[in-house]
Amino acid sequence: DQQVKQNSPSLSVQEGRISILNCDYTNSMFDYFLWYKKYPAEGPTFLISISSIKDKNEDGRFTVFLNKSAKHLSLHIVPSQPGDSAVYFCAARDPNAGGTSYGKLTFGQGTILTVHP
Amino acid sequence: ETGVTQSPTHLIKTRGQQVTLRCSSQSGHNTVSWYQQALGQGPQFIFQYYREEENGRGNFPPRFSGLQFPNYSSELNVNALELDDSALYLCASSGKGEGQYFGAGTRLSVL
């Protein structure tokens, strides 16, 4: 069962414009959501997160929005830069799934973002 | 750079063999999680080790096993390799109240 889904395999955006990456989830027990960025030959790098008790979190050019009723979150990157080109993963934490710290993370399939100069 | 190192970077094995992958966690981190990332998919949680004990396991068979050592480094062992085990194996370390920091992974190919 795919509890976290990123339905867009790829997204292409012009430099300076907004990039919007979307993520849907089915498990209402998830209490924390994270976005990771991954470059080729590197591990995923933490980007930004949001607690389930909030609906927005902002960090510089990156903003994550959470709509709990729709079980949907999105990552906005404004303005997009060519260096943002990477695979973006949405991940969610289930506090009841065992483990400590950030416990077991469930990842989406990823969205390849390409920002054109 | 996250301070999490994995070895080897690439590995080729044949079906039925056994493999051991290694991970050194970031200094001060006592928790290590292992993930399998198949081509075109997101990472899938295998298991987590905290203070040398398995502490949470995903939907993987018992032939996937692990160890954590007193210095918090960790090993992932896979017995009786199958073709579908071909994937990128990621290790992530974390400490109290922090997020997970990933290594660059080990690319395993099973022929």
**Distance between CA B110 and CA B13 in Å, rounded?**
5
pLDDT at residue A99, rounded to an integer: 52
Of B101 and B84, which is predicted with more confidence? B84
**Mean pLDDT for the stretch of residues B85-101:** 85
The arithmetic mean of pLDDT across residues A18-42, rounded, is 94
Are the C-beta atoms of A105 and B100 separated by less than 8 Å? Answer: yes
Average predicted confidence (pLDDT) for chain A: 92
Which of B35, B40, B94 has its CB closest to that of A102? B94
DSSP H helical ranges for chain B: none
| Per-residue model confidence (pLDDT) at position B51 | 85
**pLDDT recorded at residue A2:** 81
Q: What is d(CA A9, CA A71) in angstroms, rounded to the nearest whole number?
A: 19
CA angle in degrees (0–180, nearest 5) for A52-A20-A113: 115
CB count in 10 Å sphere of residue A88: 23
Q: Cβ B48–A89 below 8 Å, yes or no?
A: no
Question: Quick one: what percent of chain A has pLDDT higher than 90?
Answer: 82
Q: Residue B28: what pLDDT?
A: 80
User: How near does any CA of chain A get to the CA of B96, in Å?
Assistant: 6
Query: What is the distance between the alpha carbons of residues B83 and B91, in angstroms, rounded to a whole number?
Result: 21
Contact call for A104 and B45, based on CB within 8 A:
yes
Q: Write down how long chain A is.
A: 117
Count of A-B CB contacts under 8 Å: 77
A46–B90 CB contact, under 8 Å: no
Report whether pLDDT(B2) > 80: no
B/e letters for B52-79, b = 16+ CB within 10 Å, e = fewer, are: eeebbbbebeeebbbebeeebbbbbebe
For residue A98, what pLDDT band results from cuts at 50, 70 and 90? low
State yes or no: pLDDT of A97 exceeds 90.
no
> How does pLDDT run across B25-75, given as a tens digit for each residue?
888 888 899 999 999 899 999 999 988 898 888 899 999 999 999 988 999
* Confidence band for B98, pLDDT divided at 50, 70 and 90: low
Give the separation between CA B19 and CA B79, rounded to whole angstroms.
7
* pLDDT tens column, A83-92: 999 999 999 9
